[in-house]
Amino acid sequence: MGERKRIFAFIFFIISISSLHLLHASDDVYDATFYESFDDDFEGRWIVSEKDEYNGVWKHAESEGHEDYGLLVSEKARKYAIVKELDEPVILKDESVVLQFETRLQNGLECGGAYLKYLRPQEAGWKPKEFDNDSPYSIMFGPDKCGATNKVHFIFKHKNPKSGEYVEHHLKFPPSVPSDKLSHVYTAILKPDNELQILIDGEQKKKANFLSSEDFEPSLIPPKTISDPDDYMPKDWDEREKIPDPNAVKPDNWDENAPLEIVDEEAEKPEGWLDDEPEEIDDPEATKPEDWDDEEDGEWEAPKITNPNCETAPGCGEWKRPMKKNPAYKGKWHAPLIENPAYKGIWKPRDIPNPGYFELKRPDFEPIAAIGIEIWTMQDGILFDNILIAKDDKIAASYRETTWKPKFTIEKEKQRAESDTGSSGLAIIQKKVFDLLYKIADIPFLSAYKLKIHDLIEKGESQPNLTVGILVAVVVIILTLFLSIVFGGKKKPARVEKKTKTPAAETSTNQGSAENEENKEEETSKGPRRRVKRDN
């Protein structure tokens, strides 16, 4: 009985802790300025834009693998717009404000946005059913990815106190969007000391100051001075540091028309060159396929092969003298450069006081009266959830702990399990490959290479990441042996360089060097093999 009481006591303790946890999360709901969990259908609470271009269908759907609902982007290549008016505007002055929401890119994100717009009051000139890209917002925050763009936006619109115009100020060097299909929570903390913090999954990724020109583009506070727009460079201002020497004269012997290369008249045709032999001939062993139809396939022609008579000769076909660099080539004549005596430096307009300059102790943010999602995306499966506005990051942290983290933990564990399954599957495949290689090594005609193949297999078994390389190495061994059997006995023809007599040992060395040079030239020029020989 004592043991049973202890078990019941433990269960009661767990239930009590869970109840307190839920009670704490429930209390946070009342502490939040705004919270949307999407546990209930959004229809009747959120307003879908009725503008024709926004034809994407929003759905109330479960997140994959969870019994948790969100707002789903259900179709590809569509524009979406939906808005939720707040009961009371959120004032972004004199105290901290935390903006937070979750997204899950269930099908990835190649090109599209997944950000929120925090809209100004309707007096600014917009209507919920006509919500679109031009609806005035105070802050735009969240992921955006397409092509070279990959960032978590933070943009705020601010009214210039001098001009009265609203200017977009973009966060410089924002964090990147996580490149997976897991749930992520994005948090922006606006503090009364002008500090901005961007968190992804509760981890700070960016800290900035609203008044700093290093953090926002354009800077919220304009520069004190600007270049005078009415100042122009004087006509006699010379920015050239160096000029052609006006006293220089082209030499009388300077021939601008001399070609870069000329024919090498000293070159001699190598002895044994076969002028009347073509480099390629029809393959005498080729036969016309039985199913060849001249009417449909055209007249059959035998494939070409290298003329065997050219194999032992220095070359075939018409011999031509190679080209060589023209020693008389000088190119276009230009006067040499000298220091410019009239040089005054690079001109720039003078600085004047900026008539648009103003000072601020902190941004004058417009109130947030509604939250809108207005995006264009090529992907479906984007799920928005747990949108929060709060006055304290502790509240936002509590929501991250109770709404986001449990889902993320489950998704991460599933991802890890799938990865482990994939790894074990790969190990099975590798074992099958090695078993096959052992059987291949036992083939009689590979007996001379059996030990070498076994060494490769043993190395692969100890280092599985080398499997592909080892497989390729074995294939190369087999192909090399096969080709040596089929084409065995053929040797590369000797190369005739010049009509000079040299000792046998020296001739052998020069021949090897010449063959290396030939290979380099062939790789570079991609020209006909015989022509390369001829040019040498």
Per-residue pLDDT reduced to its tens digit, 457-501: 766 766 666 666 777 777 777 777 666 666 654 444 333 343 444
Q: Looking at the chain, which residues constitute the CATH 2.60.120.200 domain(s)?
A: 30-228+361-410
Q: What is the pTM of this model?
A: 0.61
* pLDDT of 501: 41
Amino acid letter at 359? E
Does the CA dihedral 16-18-20-23 come out positive or negative? negative
* pLDDT of 485: 65
Phi/psi for 448 (5° steps) reads: -65, -20
* pLDDT of 231: 95
Interstrand relation of 183-190 and 195-200 (parallel, antiparallel or unpaired): antiparallel
d(CA 154, CA 200): 13
d(CA 85, CA 98): 18
* pLDDT of 199: 98
Contact 86, 369 (CB under 8 A): yes
Left, alpha or beta for 272 (phi > 0: left; psi -120 to 50: alpha)?
left
Lookup: tokens for 497: 């360089």
Architecture of domain 30-228+361-410: Sandwich (2.60)
Residue of 473, 404, 395, 398 whose CA lies nearest to 433 = 473
Strand locations in 214-290, DSSP E?
216-217, 225-227, 242-244, 261-263, 280-282
Phi/psi for 221 (5° steps) reads: -95, 120
Amino acid letter at 360? L
Q: Which of 48-52, 294-298, 449-453 is least confident?
A: 449-453
Average the pLDDT over 121-148 and give the result. 95
Q: Which of 125-129, 301-305, 453-457 is least confident?
A: 453-457
Q: Give the three-state DSSP class for 457.
A: helix
Task: Give the whole-number percent of the chain exceeding pLDDT 70.
Answer: 80
pLDDT one-digit tens code per residue, 344-377: 999 999 999 999 999 999 999 999 999 999 999 9
d(CA 312, CA 493): 5
* pLDDT of 505: 41
pLDDT one-digit tens code per residue, 248-293: 999 998 999 999 999 999 999 999 999 999 989 999 999 999 899 8
pLDDT one-digit tens code per residue, 198-252: 999 999 999 999 999 999 999 999 999 999 999 999 999 999 999 999 999 999 9
Q: Report the interhelical angle of 405-441 vs 450-462 (nearest 10°).
A: 170
HSE-CB at 318 with a 13 A cutoff on CA atoms is 1
Q: Give the three-state DSSP class for 337.
A: strand
Residue keyed to tokens 């950000």? 115
Average the pLDDT over 424-432 and give the result. 68
Q: Residue 413: which residues within 8 A CB-CB, separation 6 or more? A: none
* pLDDT of 466: 65
In 180-291, which ranges are continuous DSSP H helix?
Answer: none
Angle, CA of 323, 328 and 330, to the nearest 5°: 110
